[in-house]
Chains A and B, each alone.
Chain A
Amino acid sequence: MALPRWTALAPVLLFALTGMLVLLVDTFFPDTRRRSVLSGLSTLGSLAAVAVSGWFILSGPGTAFPPAPDSGATEGGPILLFQGQLTVDAMALLFFVVVGSVAALVSIASYDYLEEHSYQGAYYSLVMLAATGMALMATANSLAVAFIALELSSLPSYALVAYLKQNRGSVEAGLKYFLVGALSSAVLVYGISLVYGTTGALGFDAVAAALSGVDDAGLNGALGVGVLMVLGGFAFKTASVPFHFWAPEAYEGSPAPISAFLSSASKAAGFALAIRVFVTAFPPEVMLETLGIDWVFAFQVLAIVTMTVGNFAAATQEEVKRMLAYSSVGHAGYVLIGLAALAPTASGANTDVVLGASMMHLVVYGFMNTGAFLFVAMVEYWGLGRTFEDYNGLATRAPVACLAMTVCLFSLAGLPIGGGFMSKFVLFFGAVNAGFWWLAAVGAINSALSLYYYARVVKAMWIEDPADDLEITRQPLGLYAAVVAAALLTVLALPAFGFVSEVAVDAAASLLPGA
C-alpha cells in the first residue's frame, strides 16, 4: 500500500488538528457538559497519534510510502519532507509515541483536576499545540525548523504553567519559566546564527557537509562557540544543569498534570532534537579530528554534573513535588550518558546501544514519571498537603493508587519492578561496553542514592500511620485511570522491553554515521 508521502507526518497533524478541534468545540458548544468532551477529544487525538506512529513503526519506517521521486532511493528508510526540512525516521516515530502517550495520560487526568476551573478549552488546546511542537522537534532536520519547533512547544508551555491564574505560585512559576526560556531561546538562536555564519548551511546534513570548509576558513572558534550555545539551548529544554533552575519552580508551581507533561514529554522532545542535531549535524569524529571541537567532553561534564546535582538536591527536599522535579533533573543526567559516550575513542560498535539506551530510558521515563506526577495531582485534588508527612498513611485510604505510585517510584529508582530497571541497566551496560565505565559508575551510585528519597514517599504512604483527620471523600475516576494506566505501562515495559530496545537501537544505529 502506498500512501502519499506527506501522510508520514500524520501524528504531528493529528496533534495540531485535535488542538484546533478542541478550540472549535469550545467556541460553538460552550455548554456545561463540555468538560468530558474536551478531555475526551484530546485523549482520543493523542491516542490516534500513538496508534498511527505505532503502525508506522511496526510496518517498518518508510515502507508504507513511495520513495522520493528524485532521490533514486528504494523503499524504506527515513522520509524526508519539504526538501529535507523535516525527516520522519524511526527515532521520530518513537518520540511521537512518547509524546502522544504522555499527552493522552495528561488529558485523562486533567478531566478531574480541572473540575472547578474555567477556560478549559484553552487548556486542552494548548496541551495539544505544545504536543505538536514537541512532535515537530523530533522530526526537525534543519536548525531553522528546530528553533521554530522549540518555540512552538515552549510558548504554550509558558501559558500552561501559569494556568492557575488565581494562584500566586503558578503565576510566579510561569514568569520564571518564561524569562529563563526567553533567555535560552536567545542563546540558542545566537548559536544557530554562528553555526550558519561559519558553515553557510541550516540543514543538518548540509551543516555536516560544510564542516571541512570551516576549517579551511579558520573559523573553528566561532563554530565552537556556536555549538556550545546550541547545547545550552537544549540544556534548557531538557532541564539539564546549569540551565535547570527553572525546572523545580515551574514544576512546583504549575498544575500537576502540566508538571507531568513538561517533565516527561517536553524533556523527551528536547533530547530527541539534541540527539539529532549533535549526531547528524556535528558528527563527533569530524568535529574532534578536523576542527578540534570536543562537544562530547561537554556532554560528559554535563551528564555527571546533572546526575549528581539532581539527585543530591532531590534528597534534601521536603515536598514531594519538588523532589520529583529534582529527580527529573537527575534523570536528564542519565539520558545525557547516551550522548556523552559517543566519543570517537569509544569502542565503535557499541555506541548504538548506549545511544539507543538513552531513547529507551526516555520512553520508560515518560510512563513512570508521568504516573508519579499524576499521583501528586491526585493528592492535590484531594486537598492534602505537599510534604512527605502529608502522604503519611495514604495507603490506608487509597491502596490502589498508592500501589501504582509505588510501582512508578521504585521503577524510577531502578528496582526491577518496572521498565526503569531495564533502561538504566542497558544505559550503564552500554556505557561500560563503549569504554566509559566511570560514567556508568557515577550513574549507578546516583541511582542507588535515589532509592533513598523515592523510598521516603513509599514509606510515608504505606508504613507511617495516617493523621487522624486524613479523609478522602472523592474518588476521581479520570485521575485514577491515568495513574493506574501509567503504572501498568511501566510494569508492562519490563516484559515487553525487547520490543522497545529493538526499535530504539535500530533508530540509534540509523542515525549514527557508518552504521
Chain B
Amino acid sequence: MVLVLIEALIAACLVGAAVTFMVPDRYAGKVGLAASLVPLGIATYMFATFEASGNALMGGQLAFEEQFQWVTLGEAYALNWHVGLDGISMPLVALSTVLTSLAILSAWTPIDERQSQFYGLVLFMEAALLGVFSALDFFVWFVFWEGVLVPMYVLIGVWGGPRRKYAAIKFFVYTNVASLAMFIAFVALVFGLGDAVDTFDMPAIAAALGETGIQADAVPVPGLDVETFKILVFAALFFGFGVKVPVVPWHTWLPDAHVEAPTPVSVLLAGVLLKMGTYAMLRFNFTMLADVARDPNVAVAVGLFAAVSVIYGAMLALAQSDLKRIVAYSSVSSMGYVILGLIALTVYGVGGATFQMVSHGLISGLLFMVVGVIYNQTHTRMVQDMSGLADRMPVTVGVFVAGAFAYMGLPLMSGFAGEFFVFVGSFGSPNLPSSPVFTAVSMFGIVVVAGYLLWAMQRTLFGPFRLETDYELGRAPVQDVLPLLALLALVVLLGVAPDLAFEMIRDAVNPMVGGEVSAALGGGA
C-alpha cells in the first residue's frame, strides 16, 4: 500500500493554494481548478483502492495510516502526527475534494474581483477540511479544525453580500466560542484519565475510556462524581459541535452566513463545513463517550434536539421567500436527521447518518449552485420576483427540479437512501426510548420539505414568464451548468447504488453499535 497519501493530499492543496495566490487574477480561476484536480485525483485513487476494516477509534484496520512523534514535552507527554481513514471518513474526504473542485468551477462566473485570493483561500480551506476528516490525534485534529475558520471568515467577509461583515463576524464568534467550549471539555476529559494516556491520540483515548475509565480522584473539578463529569463533557462537546452542525437553537448564524456568502462558499459551507460538526459528534460524543449516549435521559435529550431541528428548521424554511434562505434553513432540518440517526446507535442509524452527510453534501451543494446560477442570470433570489423560468433556462431548471426531488427523498436518488437508512435505524432503536415517536415526528419533516420546495418551484419555475429585475435571461454558461450535472450524476449514482459508500460505512459503524444490535436488525453483514 502506498504510504503518505494523506499527507500528499493535504500538501497538494497547500501548494496549490500558494501557487494560485500568486498568479494574476486573470488566470486564477483556471489555475485554481487545475490545482484542485490534483487532490481530487488522489482522493479518487484512495477511494478506489480503499481497504480498511473496523472503526478508526476502536482498533480497526485503517487505510493510509501514518503515525509518528511530532513534539515531545519532557518525558511524560508527546504530541503525535496521526492520520488515517476508515469507512466513515473516506467518503467525507472524497466529498470534500469533489465539492471543492465543483465550487471552484461554479465560482468562475460570480467572483469577479481578487480572484487569486479567493481561489487560494478555497484551496487552503480544502487542506484544513481534509485534515479534519483524516486526523486521529486530537491536537492535529484541532489545528485543522481551527484552520477552517479563518479562510471561511475571510471568504464571507470579503466576497459576500451587503451585510457580509456582520455575517462573517457572527459566524466567527459563534463557531469560535463553540470550539473553545469543546476544547476545554475535551482537555478536561483527557486529564481526567490520569496516567492511563500520555498523548492526545484519539484511538488511545477511546481505548482508555473504555478500559480504565475516568478515575474518581483524577476528575479535574473537585467534588464532582465521575458520571456527572462525563455527562458535562458530553454536553459541552455536543454544544461545541452542535453550533457547527447547526442544531436548533444555535443555528442563527447559518442563514446570515449563507445569505451573505457567495454561491461557491455557500456550497462548501453547506456541503462540507456542516459535516465537520456531525462527523465530530460521531467520533467524540457517540464513539468515545458512547456509554453516556446510552443513558436514556441523555438519549431523549439528544433526540429532542434532533426532532426540534428537523421540524423547526423545516418550518423556518417554509416561512422564507428568499430561495437561498429556503435552502439554508432546509440544511438545519436535514442535519436534524443526521443527529437522529446518530443517537439511534444502530448500524442503519449511524451508518445512515454518515450516508446522509455525504448525500446532503451533494444535494445541498447542488441546490445552492442552482440558486446561484439563477441569481447570476436574474440578479434576484426572491420568490415573488420571478416566475416561469423553465422556458428560458431549461437545463438549469431541470436540475433544480431533480435536486429538489432528491431533497424530498425520491427513490433512486441519494436523499432517499440516506433518509430511509436513518428512519430504519432509528425506528427500532434500542437506545432511544420511544424511538418510534421520535422517528414519526421527524418523518413529518419530509412533508414540510416537500411543501416549501414545491411551493417555491411552482412560483418561480413554472407559470407565465415574469421577471421583476428586467435582466435579459439567457442560457447559463457551460461552466455554471457543468458542476450541476456532475453533482446530479453523483446524486443519482449514490441513489441507485448506495453500497458504493454504504458498504465501507457499515463496516466502520459495526464495532460502534455492538454485534447483537445489528444482528437484531439483520444488518450485520
Nearest B residue to A396 via CB reads B114
A98 to chain B, nearest CB (A): 19
Cβ of B73 under 8 Å from chain A: yes
Complex alpha-carbon distance, A497 and B164, angstroms: 36
Given contacts A399-B21, A417-B147, A462-B158, contact A497 B71 (CB under 8 A): yes
Cβ of A271 under 8 Å from chain B: no
Cβ of B22 under 8 Å from chain A: yes
B135 to chain A, nearest CB (A): 12
Please state if A410 and B150 are interface contacts (CB–CB under 8 Å). Answer: yes
Please state if A498 and B116 are interface contacts (CB–CB under 8 Å). Answer: no
B145 to chain A, nearest CB (A): 9
B6 to chain A, nearest CB (A): 15
Please state if B158 and A463 are interface contacts (CB–CB under 8 Å). Answer: yes
Contacts of B180 in A (CB 8 A): 448
Residue of A403, A463, A502 near B72 (CB, 8 A) is: A502
Given contacts A421-B143, A463-B168, contact A501 B71 (CB under 8 A): yes
Please state if B74 and A350 are interface contacts (CB–CB under 8 Å). Answer: yes
Q: Which of A353, A495, A502 has the most CB of B within 10 A?
A: A353
Cβ of A416 under 8 Å from chain B: yes
Interface residues of A in 331-387 (CB under 8 A from B): 349-350, 352-353, 356
Residue of B22, B73, B142, B158 near A353 (CB, 8 A) is: B73
Cβ of B455 under 8 Å from chain A: no
Cβ of B146 under 8 Å from chain A: yes
Query: Interface with B: A87-95, A228-236, A425-433, which one?
Result: A425-433
Interface residues of B in 101-139 (CB under 8 A from A): 114, 116-117
Complex alpha-carbon distance, A403 and B180, angstroms: 25
A276 to chain B, nearest CB (A): 20
Nearest A residue to B22 via CB reads A400
Cβ of A108 under 8 Å from chain B: no
Complex alpha-carbon distance, A325 and B114, angstroms: 32
Please state if B142 and A395 are interface contacts (CB–CB under 8 Å). Answer: no
Nearest B residue to A421 via CB reads B143
Cβ of B77 under 8 Å from chain A: yes
Complex alpha-carbon distance, A421 and B144, angstroms: 12
Complex alpha-carbon distance, A353 and B77, angstroms: 10
Please state if B73 and A429 are interface contacts (CB–CB under 8 Å). Answer: yes
Complex alpha-carbon distance, A268 and B246, angstroms: 45
Contacts of A429 in B (CB 8 A): 73, 77
B114 to chain A, nearest CB (A): 7
Please state if A498 and B157 are interface contacts (CB–CB under 8 Å). Answer: no
Contacts of A79 in B (CB 8 A): none
Given contacts A349-B76, A400-B21, A463-B165, contact A415 B146 (CB under 8 A): yes
Q: Which of B143, B147, B164 has the most CB of A within 10 A?
A: B143
Please state if B117 and A399 are interface contacts (CB–CB under 8 Å). Answer: yes
Contacts of B158 in A (CB 8 A): 462-463
Contacts of B146 in A (CB 8 A): 415-416
Please state if B73 and A498 are interface contacts (CB–CB under 8 Å). Answer: no
A350 to chain B, nearest CB (A): 6
Cβ of A5 under 8 Å from chain B: no
Given contacts A399-B21, A417-B150, contact A349 B75 (CB under 8 A): yes
Give the number of residue pairs across the A-B interface with Cβ within 8 Å.
64
Cβ of A126 under 8 Å from chain B: no
Nearest B residue to A415 via CB reads B146
Please state if B73 and A430 are interface contacts (CB–CB under 8 Å). Answer: yes
Complex alpha-carbon distance, A421 and B150, angstroms: 14
Nearest A residue to B75 via CB reads A349
Cβ of A459 under 8 Å from chain B: yes
Cβ of B70 under 8 Å from chain A: yes
Cβ of A150 under 8 Å from chain B: no
B194 to chain A, nearest CB (A): 13
A148 to chain B, nearest CB (A): 35
Nearest A residue to B180 via CB reads A448
Cβ of B69 under 8 Å from chain A: yes
Q: What does the 1/0 interface line of B158-194 toward A look like (CB < 8 Å)? A: 1000001100100000000000100000000000000
Complex alpha-carbon distance, A62 and B83, angstroms: 38
Cβ of B412 under 8 Å from chain A: no
Cβ of B226 under 8 Å from chain A: no
A359 to chain B, nearest CB (A): 13
Please state if B71 and A498 are interface contacts (CB–CB under 8 Å). Answer: yes
Please state if B143 and A353 are interface contacts (CB–CB under 8 Å). Answer: no
Cβ of A149 under 8 Å from chain B: no
Contacts of A421 in B (CB 8 A): 143
Please state if A416 and B76 are interface contacts (CB–CB under 8 Å). Answer: no
Cβ of B42 under 8 Å from chain A: no
Please state if A463 and B154 are interface contacts (CB–CB under 8 Å). Answer: yes
Interface residues of A in 486-504 (CB under 8 A from B): 494-495, 497-498, 501-502
Complex alpha-carbon distance, A433 and B114, angstroms: 47
Q: What does the 1/0 interface line of B49-82 toward A look like (CB < 8 Å)? A: 0000000000000000000011111111100000
Please state if A498 and B72 are interface contacts (CB–CB under 8 Å). Answer: yes
Contacts of A353 in B (CB 8 A): 73-74
Given contacts A399-B117, A463-B158, A463-B165, contact A501 B21 (CB under 8 A): no
A462 to chain B, nearest CB (A): 5
Q: What does the 1/0 interface line of B329-347 toward A look like (CB < 8 Å)? A: 0000000000000000000
Contacts of B22 in A (CB 8 A): 400
Residue of A416, A422, A462 near B157 (CB, 8 A) is: A462
Please state if B70 and A498 are interface contacts (CB–CB under 8 Å). Answer: yes
Contacts of A495 in B (CB 8 A): 70
A495 to chain B, nearest CB (A): 8
Please state if B165 and A403 are interface contacts (CB–CB under 8 Å). Answer: no
A361 to chain B, nearest CB (A): 14
Cβ of A505 under 8 Å from chain B: yes
Contacts of B72 in A (CB 8 A): 498, 501-502, 505
Please state if A463 and B74 are interface contacts (CB–CB under 8 Å). Answer: no
A187 to chain B, nearest CB (A): 35
Nearest B residue to A491 via CB reads B14
Contacts of A497 in B (CB 8 A): 70-71
Contacts of B116 in A (CB 8 A): 399
Q: What does the 1/0 interface line of A393-416 toward B look like (CB < 8 Å)? A: 001100110010000001000011
Complex alpha-carbon distance, A246 and B157, angstroms: 38
Please state if B76 and A433 are interface contacts (CB–CB under 8 Å). Answer: yes
Contacts of B150 in A (CB 8 A): 410, 415, 417
Interface residues of A in 426-455 (CB under 8 A from B): 426, 429-430, 433, 448
Q: Which of B69, B150, B157 has the most CB of A within 10 A?
A: B150
Complex alpha-carbon distance, A497 and B140, angstroms: 13
Contacts of A459 in B (CB 8 A): 157
Nearest A residue to B168 via CB reads A463
Residue of B21, B114, B147 near A403 (CB, 8 A) is: B21
Complex alpha-carbon distance, A161 and B91, angstroms: 58
Contacts of A505 in B (CB 8 A): 72-74
Complex alpha-carbon distance, A430 and B74, angstroms: 9
Please state if A416 and B147 are interface contacts (CB–CB under 8 Å). Answer: yes
Complex alpha-carbon distance, A352 and B75, angstroms: 10
Contacts of A349 in B (CB 8 A): 74-76
Complex alpha-carbon distance, A24 and B321, angstroms: 77
Binding site for A on B (CB under 8 A): 21-22, 69-77, 114, 116-117, 142-143, 146-147, 150, 154, 157-158, 164-165, 168, 180
* Interchain Cβ contacts under 8 Å between A and B, 28 examples: A349-B74, A349-B75, A352-B74, A353-B73, A353-B74, A396-B114, A400-B21, A400-B22, A403-B21, A417-B147, A422-B71, A430-B73, A430-B74, A459-B157, A462-B154, A462-B157, A463-B154, A463-B157, A463-B158, A494-B143, A495-B70, A497-B70, A498-B70, A498-B71, A498-B72, A501-B71, A501-B72, A505-B73
Given contacts A399-B114, A463-B164, 14 further A-B contacts (CB under 8 A): A399-B21, A400-B21, A403-B21, A426-B73, A430-B74, A462-B154, A462-B157, A463-B154, A463-B158, A497-B70, A497-B71, A498-B71, A505-B73, A505-B74
Binding site for B on A (CB under 8 A): 349-350, 352-353, 356, 395-396, 399-400, 403, 410, 415-417, 421-422, 426, 429-430, 433, 448, 459, 462-463, 494-495, 497-498, 501-502, 505
Q: Which 6 pairs from chain A and chain B are nearest by CB?
A: A416-B143, A353-B74, A463-B157, A498-B71, A416-B146, A501-B71
